Structure 1
Amino acid sequence: MTRPCPDTLDATVPRSRRQRRTIAAVPAVPFTAVVAVMAAYIALARGDAASKDDSIPSSQAAATSPAVAEGRGPGGGEAATKGAVPEAPNGGSSAAPAAGTSSGRNTQSASETTGPPRSASIRDERPVELRPYRVLVRLGLPRTAAWNEDLRAAVVRRFATVTANTLGQMWSLTVRRDDRLLPCNRIGLERLDARTFAADAESGFDKVYCVTVEPNGGRFTVWSREWDATVQRLGPICSARTYDRRSIGDAVFAAVWSAFEPVVYLKLVDADVIHVRIRGGEYLPAVSEFAPLRPGRILQPVFRHYNRDRTLRAIQPIPWTYLIVDSVQRGRARCHAVSGLRINLGARRRRVETVAIGVRPHLAETEVRLALRNAPTKALVAYRVSVYNRKPDLHKRRGTQNASSERSDAAEDSPGGAKPAADGVESGGRTGGETASTSGRSEDAPKPLILMSDRRGIIRVPADPAKPLVWLFISGGKYLLAMVPFVPGTVERTDLLLPDDSVRLGVVAQLELLKAEFVETIARRAVLMSRIRRHTRKGESAKAAELLAELEKLPDNKHYHDELEAIQFAAVQQAKQRRNRLAESRVKVLCKTVRELVDKFLPADGLQKFKDQLKELEEEARVEAEEVRSPDTMQ
């Protein structure tokens, strides 16, 4: 005889008394519990992130239902969502619900996280090209009645699905809801600083994106900002808009991708070619439009200094230096460098790693403040700045000899000049800017935009997204102080520290006074010599002798040479004290030019030659006088 028992595994009644006692001692197990245990075991065997980890592997999010971990952690240009990302195969409405949820009502398992996908202390031994980005997206959604749990979960699922379908294995995605990103607009992201991401860096994430969704009537604006752990840089704020509630997840992906900047590692510098390895470059996206790196992209190199135990000690961005991508082949790329410094990126440095990250203009202009290197608080006023959209050919502008000296002076005078920015930065070698000048050169010389620094030493350089890289030529008088490449629009303001040119300017002022005195002396000398010649021809020797005595009192060649020697000696000593070899050489050139001018118009033997001429004139005047008297004597 049997009795139905649908809720337990005890479906039949035992026939023997012993079996009855044994089964009675064992509690009945519900059938639904057994099914739940089996489902959990299968999910664990498949590596489901919902049962063990809070990360979302991008390669599995499209095939299986994305397990979204919505933790409560701490802490532009606009892109249209239509056409910005490819549609998912099943659409956003057919995505499976998050693990542990039932129609958005039970969110207990979805709000709990078990830990980061990888610890920061564990090094990834895979090649750079095969290392996916470990990405954390902190999503701040409005806490209003219109934004119920169903809508919030649908936005997260849609974003994870679009990311997986578009980028594939290039990103290892983790999404967490962050209710502390307040207010949910641009202002909330502007308040972020590097301290907000300290815990995320220790957790092993490579990139962290803070995203907020701002509803405004029927329009939804998504704001995104990137923090890169490799260079520890907080990127610009980007945005995307949509008018469809179902496309908010697509807009989140568009905003995040617009804030994404690729990271490359320098592998080899061969002459003018720099070979780099692209992070996660071997994982090609489904659409070529979303390739991490393309030809023409501009990268900024960064030095990562390590201790002996391979712990990160310091991060040093290389100023006024950029890499321009020439060609891309899957996870490898070839670039060339443009720089205003004398620095060799290919030099071997102990415990220093050279990486580069992409830069793009997102502002209309950048304020550049000109100041002295040894006195940053002192602004340089009324300095001329020429802005070129490509580097001009100095040989065609001013001749080969002048251009060579001007280029060498500007290279030594550039910010950073011959001094290393920190340990591991070596001076000398080829200037990277010369390589860039050979590309994209036309026959016509480029027309510059002329700017003049105001009383605060500030110039405003406009940004052009079509031609992001420009060249700044800073001149003090007729001398070129520095020429540096720059991408305006990446930062609001920056300082361009120039070498102290006060020694040269002081010498220029003294030489101008000396030349004014010299011109007056030459003029008076010419007048006196003319009068002396006239009186000598007339035979008025007394007046000629009086004027000759006055001529001998004028400053001579030796006087001006002594003045030049005094000016040069004082200025050279001052330049040596400041260890400014460039100012020392420029002072010598200036004094040499004036010295040649003195020797030309006021030679050392000029007065003696003039006296010899006077003797000849006196003899001629005497002969003429005798010829005049001789006919009278004969008569």
Structure 2
Amino acid sequence: MNSILLAAVGVVLTVPSASMVLAQSMWELTPYKIRLVLAADDCVELEPALKNDVLPAVVTSLDYAAAARWEISGEICPPELRSVVLGDWKSLDKDLLPEEWRDPKQWDKIILVVVSQGIDGLHLKACDWDVALESFGVPVDGYAPDASQLSEAVEATVRRAFTPQARIAVIEPDAVQLRLRAGALPARDDQLGRVEAGAIFESFVRYEDRFGKARAIMRVPWSYLYIDRVDDGGKLISSVYSGLRNAFSARRRGRVRQITRLVRPQQGTTRLVLFSPGEEKTPLVGYDIYAKSPGEEHYQRIGRTDFQGVIEIAPVDVSPLRELIVKHGSRQMARLPLVPGLEPVLEAALPNDDQRLAAEGYLIGVQDELMDLVTRRTLLLARARRALENGDFETADRLLSEARALKTREQFVNELTQQQKLAVCDDPASQRRVDAMFDEIKKLVVQFLDPSEVESLTQQLAQARRNK
């Protein structure tokens, strides 16, 4: 389960310096160092063919196709790593991996391919281990009817498993420019690692020690770059979709690197779980979810969280990327871009807004009551004034008595003050909103329930009676 809190991730945005431009050029001229690891699962009789025929053929073919972009080599999975390679890649313990698999100076990518025997032929499963990011990409499947076609199937599966990296080169007011790793190097097959408009990149921040080893690696939450177009020279012009402020940076700060990686969309849904921060993780029930895809102008309501604070987010045909907003009543609580199916479960901690919504509902009722009271009071005073002008003092006195019997300004303000004391929110921002709403209603009460109007008309009635 991928638990992500909506923490503020502050990143300073700057104009690239000359050294940054040089580093970016080196990035585009640096080939990938790729290690291909083949393993046979429950078909050990295939291992000689994998070692002697398939592995050399695949490495030779990919080396020729990639030309200067890849430096690729391969090996059959060592016995001590079989349990790791044949296990669940998503839940893999990184400490079980060889040291060189976590050293970007040794490799950039470790591409694992597992071959298993099925009733209808040979089934393949491949995944891209990104050494700098210390994470797997999305597993892909392959198939070969028999061993004679295994080399071609392995190569095709490796091509689909490979996930290109990119760096942020320039941040413009309305777009972000990306540069692909090894993008300036020639390749015989331009389809290898090709990125087109509509592609999606996710971002990671790698914190290194003085030896270049990772101290921490953090995926930037709720943030994606959507490729709008690919310009001449391989520039990827992208739009930012993020629930954070300043989620992306073109600046390398000391031993901190921000690297983006291509996202391989998957079929399936993502279970979005909303809860309030704290040990209890109280589910946020009844929060409305709206969504739109890149290129769409308006959000459409797609549902509401259930009693567990859960809603299933399904993919759509327009784009794998969905930009969600969470609303509670009239308040927008969060913006949560995601790719349905990429993660089975995503969690978001948001302030519990129930007390604010309850206060908002109460104050809407108070507004209606105030409007009704002001209307009745205005009519009574108008009729009393007309009766006074016509010399009908008894009617004027009766109407003024009815006006004085209505709820007074002091009573209204006292009731609001008592309710405001009960409207306590855990979230400071919600509390400020609640207090502001109460203060606004109090101003309206003071403005429209001025007791001097009744007092003035009462004095006029008394004076008229004395003058009669």
TM normalised by structure 2 equals: 0.78
Deviation at 1:523, TM superposition (A): 7.9
Aligned to 1:173: 72
- Tell me the secondary structure at the aligned position of residue 288 of structure 1: coil
- Quick one: which amino acid aligns to residue 501 of structure 1? D
**1:212-271 Cα distance to aligned partner (Å, 9 max, x none):** 112223422111122212222222221012224222112112222222211112233243
Contact 1:366–1:491 (CA under 8 A) maintained in structure 2: yes
Cα separation, partners in 2 of 1:475 and 1:351, compared to 1, 3 Å: same
Bigger shift: residues 127-136 or 611-620:
611-620
Aligned to 1:298: 200
**1:406-461 Cα distance to aligned partner (Å, 9 max, x none):** xxxxxxxxxxxxxxxxxxxxxxxxxxxxxxxxxx46xxx54624211011111111
**Residue 448 in structure 1 maps to residue 300 in structure 2:** yes
Residue in structure 2 matching 1:129, options 23, 28, 37: 28
Aligned to 1:361: 265
Q: Which has the higher contact order (CA 8 A, sep 6+)?
A: 2
**Residue 194 in structure 1 maps to residue 97 in structure 2:** no
- Quick one: which amino acid aligns to residue 590 of structure 1? M
- Tell me the secondary structure at the aligned position of residue 319 of structure 1: strand
**1:159-216 Cα distance to aligned partner (Å, 9 max, x none):** 223212322232222322225546998x755664433435321482221222111222
Q: Tell me how far apart the structure 1 counterparts of residues 377 and 293 of structure 2 sit (CA, whole Å).
A: 52
- Quick one: which amino acid aligns to residue 498 of structure 1? L
**Residue 278 in structure 1 maps to residue 130 in structure 2:** no
Aligned to 2:411: 559
- Tell me the secondary structure at the aligned position of residue 289 of structure 1: coil
The 5 Å alignment of 1:358-397 reads 358-373=262-277, 377-390=281-294
Where structure 1 has 5 or more consecutive residues not aligned to the other structure, the ranges are 1-123, 391-439, 623-635
Q: Tell me how far apart the structure 2 counterparts of residues 453 and 225 of structure 1 sit (CA, whole Å).
A: 34
Aligned to 2:14: none
Deviation at 1:367, TM superposition (A): 0.9
Greater strand content: 2
The 5 Å alignment of 1:252-271 reads 252-271=154-173
Cα separation, partners in 2 of 1:267 and 1:447, compared to 1, 3 Å: closer
Residue in structure 2 matching 1:163, options 46, 53, 62: 62
Aligned to 1:6: none
**Residue 598 in structure 1 maps to residue 450 in structure 2:** no
Deviation at 1:378, TM superposition (A): 1.3
**Residue 608 in structure 1 maps to residue 455 in structure 2:** yes
Q: Tell me how far apart the structure 2 counterparts of residues 160 and 363 of structure 1 sit (CA, whole Å).
A: 30
Deviation at 1:143, TM superposition (A): 5.2
Contact 1:165–1:286 (CA under 8 A) maintained in structure 2: yes
- Tell me the secondary structure at the aligned position of residue 433 of structure 2: helix
Aligned to 2:4: none
Cα separation, partners in 2 of 1:491 and 1:374, compared to 1, 3 Å: same
Cα separation, partners in 2 of 1:144 and 1:561, compared to 1, 3 Å: closer
Aligned to 1:36: none
Aligned to 2:238: 335
* Larger Cα-atom Rg: 1
Cα separation, partners in 2 of 1:258 and 1:291, compared to 1, 3 Å: closer
- Tell me the secondary structure at the aligned position of residue 136 of structure 1: strand
Q: Tell me how far apart the structure 1 counterparts of residues 391 and 25 of structure 2 sit (CA, whole Å).
A: 102
Aligned to 2:122: 220
Contact 1:162–1:250 (CA under 8 A) maintained in structure 2: no
- Quick one: which amino acid aligns to residue 197 of structure 1? L
**1:81-112 Cα distance to aligned partner (Å, 9 max, x none):** xxxxxxxxxxxxxxxxxxxxxxxxxxxxxxxx
Cα separation, partners in 2 of 1:151 and 1:535, compared to 1, 3 Å: closer
**Residue 315 in structure 1 maps to residue 224 in structure 2:** no
Q: Tell me how far apart the structure 2 counterparts of residues 534 and 330 of structure 1 sit (CA, whole Å).
A: 83
Q: Tell me how far apart the structure 2 counterparts of residues 244 and 553 of structure 1 sit (CA, whole Å).
A: 94
Deviation at 1:381, TM superposition (A): 0.5
Contact 1:139–1:177 (CA under 8 A) maintained in structure 2: yes
**Residue 141 in structure 1 maps to residue 40 in structure 2:** yes
Contact 1:194–1:234 (CA under 8 A) maintained in structure 2: no
Contact 2:275–2:309 (CA under 8 A) maintained in structure 1: yes
Deviation at 1:510, TM superposition (A): 4.6
Q: Tell me how far apart the structure 2 counterparts of residues 257 and 550 of structure 1 sit (CA, whole Å).
A: 85
Aligned-residue CA RMSD (Å): 3.9
Q: Tell me how far apart the structure 1 counterparts of residues 280 and 257 of structure 2 sit (CA, whole Å).
A: 29
Deviation at 1:383, TM superposition (A): 0.8
Aligned to 1:460: 312
TM normalised by structure 1 equals: 0.60
- How many residue pairs align between the two structures? 439
- Tell me the secondary structure at the aligned position of residue 240 of structure 1: strand
Cα separation, partners in 2 of 1:608 and 1:375, compared to 1, 3 Å: farther
Q: Tell me how far apart the structure 1 counterparts of residues 64 and 440 of structure 2 sit (CA, whole Å).
A: 70
Contact 1:193–1:234 (CA under 8 A) maintained in structure 2: no
Cα separation, partners in 2 of 1:195 and 1:531, compared to 1, 3 Å: same
